[in-house]
Amino acid sequence: MEQTFGNNYDHEATRRFFRRWWKVLTAVFVVAAIASLVVSLLIKPLYKSSAVIFPTNSNRLSKAIMDYHYSLDFMDYGIERDCEYAIQILSSKRMQKAVCDHFKLMEHYGIPEDAQHAQFKLDEQYKSNISVRRTEFLGVEIGVLDQDPQWAADIANYMATMYDTLCHAIHHDRAISAAEVMADVCTAMEQEIDSLSKLPATPWRTKLIADKCEQLADLQTRATQTDVDKDLSVSYKYTVDVATPADKKAYPKRALIVLGGSLGAVVICIFGLLLFAKKEDE
């Protein structure tokens, strides 16, 4: 039995189709290109500025300074965990509120405060214009798009500065809570030692008091470290690149808009003509 291999597609039919409709397709391409160009010219250009930071090691600064047994250096660059922490803080609602309030972004983006779903619109605009991403080498890039290149740079640099403020607030709140707990534990242990000291002197009592005093000294050291952390204000990042105003727009890419719009219109037109030709044959 004879077998046929290869592509049996009728290329002549395709050539006949384009010979018949090339003027229509050319006209569609030209009209779509002009329309896409007009649309791209109506889109307001956006400029992008970026700041890059390296989060520092999140180890306790006081422990690194006061405890010579502590092997980790707080001056080291942060590890992957610290990078993820930084991204979470920079992407948080607290950061968003601080940026929106400081730069009055609702007014800047032209969103009336009494408009329906005004906060939702602000959130969507913020998310589309401001991005935070991890770089290849465990840094964090803060990217900002805006119609004003200076605003884009100012917002990116403000977020980098605000990162320290939020980190300090988080550590301060935790240190206060820890200090209160440690103070209560130290007081209770002091009272326990005082009660033990009133018992008759025995080897057992002497050893127990010595153990309790050792535990109390350790707790007091930790309490001192916590007090240092509570009032300490240090930078939690290394700034690698400061954002500067861009001198070239990042969006829109007019060539891509024109090309995409033109080719898209031609493809749709081809499908339409194929359907038309099929109905004619029927």
At 170 the pLDDT is 82
177-184 long-range CB contacts below 8 Å, 24 or more apart? 178/226, 179/223, 179/226, 179/227, 179/230, 182/219, 182/222, 182/223, 182/226, 183/223
Backbone angles phi, psi at 201, to 5 degrees: -70, 120
Give pTM, 2 decimals.
Answer: 0.68
pLDDT digits (tens, 9 = 90+) for 204-216: 888 888 888 888 8
Tell me the pLDDT tens digit for each residue of 203-256: 888 888 888 888 888 877 777 776 666 666 677 888 889 999 998 888 777 788
Domain residues for 263?
9-43+252-282
Residues 87 and 35 in one domain: no
Q: Please, what's the largest Cα pairwise distance for the chain?
A: 115
Side-chain half-sphere of 239: how many Cα atoms within 13 Å?
15
In a domain? residue 2? no
Does any domain span residue 4?
Answer: no
Model confidence band, residue 108 (pLDDT cutoffs 50, 70, 90): very high
pLDDT attached to residue 213: 87
Residues 196 and 232 in one domain: yes
Please indicate, yes or no, whether residues 102 and 175 belong to a single structural domain of this protein: yes
Cβ pair 86, 78 in contact under 8 A: yes
Total domains present in the chain: 2
Assigned domain for 1 exists: no
Looking at the chain, how many residues does it have? Answer: 282
Read off the CATH number of the domain in which 202 is found: 3.30.1890
Query: Does one domain contain both 129 and 190?
Result: yes
276 domain residue, yes or no: yes
